[in-house]
């Protein structure tokens, strides 16, 4: 199957939760939470796309680059591309349930590995959600990263131990999940965390700890100070708070202050290899991709995801060649205009 065929199958399976639009930009699905849209007006989801689109690339073809290097190292794991599958749960109430939670997690982890990269798994109101991710990671020799909602401390630590037992590469909390409507509807208490509480979580595990959902320099600094090994600059796909800026808008300020001190990952609006290179130029070291991963998996399982990531790799390599970038580990900001 080619990508267009994958999208066609996914469109049928995801009705009416996702229309698999020609451009996944949050316009048609605005306000559809639960579902695949952005909360409220959908402004935050749309802002992620708009912020990336404001940047243009400087075409450059007078240089020595012949074979761009797309490999990236995360916590001693070498990945074929600096691109990973974002943690997404809720197959039934966000995606329509044509694929079960267990199968979705298995396909994301396996498909990511087939493409030479890593899948992240999530947490949700149903215990099956986090457990499905842990089982998929365990089946694949720990090659995955589980992310936990900001629950009560003891509940997070219990889930961290499950990640350790599964041999996971790292573990983390999506702190922005404190505002999830779907969690509230299911009676699952989540809340913001103090720096002291986050430090307790970091110290509870020997695994690298990731704090996902950072959108300000102040909170990025807190993440560094409490010992997080990585942050994900993210507004949760625009599903938490209406009218936030786009990720590409806040990323440079955070990267200028903290790059080299901890790993900076960007999550918000990345749809192509071109978008990946833009995020790297703005200071990220890697990116997460969410909604298109859902489309890939619903369209053709792990093979669909492998195809999508391979397409991203080819686009990224071509874009590097045409901007004079030799390695994803060193992407200068001056390839951008805007």
Helix (H) or strand (E) holding 73: strand 72-74
- pLDDT bin (cut points 50, 70, 90) of residue 187 is confident
pTM of structure: 0.96
- pLDDT bin (cut points 50, 70, 90) of residue 242 is very high
- pLDDT bin (cut points 50, 70, 90) of residue 147 is very high
| The pLDDT of residue 181 | 72
Name 144's bridge partners: 119
Residue 183 pLDDT greater than 80, yes or no: no
Q: Work out the average pLDDT over 90-107.
A: 93
| The pLDDT of residue 338 | 85
Residue 185 pLDDT greater than 80, yes or no: no
Q: Are 39 and 242 in contact (CB under 8 A)?
A: yes
Residue 127 pLDDT greater than 90, yes or no: no
* Tens digits of residue pLDDT in 32-67: 998 999 999 999 999 999 999 999 999 999 999 999
| The pLDDT of residue 49 | 98
Length of the chain in terms of residues written: 338
| The pLDDT of residue 126 | 81
| The pLDDT of residue 196 | 98
Q: Are 190 and 183 in contact (CB under 8 A)?
A: yes
For the chain, state the CA radius of gyration: 18
**What ranges do the domains of the chain cover?**
3-337
* Tens digits of residue pLDDT in 202-234: 999 999 999 999 999 999 999 999 999 999 999
Q: How far apart are CA 321 and CA 49, in angstroms?
A: 24
Q: How far apart are CA 195 and CA 329, in angstroms?
A: 30
Q: How far apart are CA 338 and CA 327, in angstroms?
A: 22
Distance set, CA 245 to CA 40, 51, 98, 136, 191 (Å): 14, 8, 33, 34, 22
Per cent of the chain over pLDDT 90 is 92
Residue 297 pLDDT greater than 80, yes or no: yes
| The pLDDT of residue 92 | 86
| The pLDDT of residue 184 | 73
| The pLDDT of residue 188 | 83
Domain 3-337 coded CATH 3.20.20.70 = yes
Q: How far apart are CA 119 and CA 128, in angstroms?
A: 18
Name 74's bridge partners: 77
């Amino acid at each position: 199957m080619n990508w267009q065929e994958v999208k066609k199958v996914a469109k049928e399976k995801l009705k009416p939760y996702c229309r698999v639009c020609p451009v996944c930009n949050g316009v048609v699905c605005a306000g559809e939470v639960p579902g695949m849209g952005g909360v409220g007006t959908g402004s935050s989801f749309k802002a992620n796309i708009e912020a990336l689109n404001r940047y243009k690339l400087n075409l450059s073809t007078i240089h020595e680059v012949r074979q761009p290097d797309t490999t990236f190292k995360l916590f001693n794991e070498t990945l074929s591309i600096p691109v990973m599958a974002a943690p997404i749960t809720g197959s039934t109430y966000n995606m329509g349930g044509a694929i079960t939670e267990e199968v979705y997690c298995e396909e994301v982890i396996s498909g990511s590995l087939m493409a030479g990269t890593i899948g992240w798994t999530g947490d949700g109101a149903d215990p099956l959600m986090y457990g499905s991710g842990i089982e998929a990671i365990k089946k694949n020799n720990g090659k995955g990263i589980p992310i936990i909602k900001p629950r009560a401390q003891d509940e997070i630590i219990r889930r961290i131990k499950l990640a350790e037992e599964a041999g996971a590469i790292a573990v983390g909390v999506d702190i922005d999940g404190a505002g999830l409507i779907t969690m509230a509807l299911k009676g699952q208490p989540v809340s913001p965390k103090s720096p002291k509480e986050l430090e307790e979580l970091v110290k509870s595990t020997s695994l690298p700890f990731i704090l996902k959902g950072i959108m300000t320099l102040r909170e990025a600094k807190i993440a560094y100070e409490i010992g997080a090994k990585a942050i994900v600059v993210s507004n949760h796909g625009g599903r938490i708070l209406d009218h936030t800026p786009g990720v590409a808008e806040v990323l440079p300020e955070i990267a200028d202050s903290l790059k080299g001190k901890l790993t900076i990952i960007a999550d918000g609006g990345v749809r192509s290899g071109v978008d990946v290179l833009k995020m790297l130029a703005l200071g990220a070291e890697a990116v997460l991709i969410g909604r298109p991963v859902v489309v890939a998996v619903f369209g053709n399982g792990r093979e669909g995801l492998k195809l999508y990531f391979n397409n991203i790799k080819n686009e990224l390599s071509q874009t590097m060649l045409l901007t004079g970038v030799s390695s994803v580990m060193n992407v200068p900001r001056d390839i951008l205009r805007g």
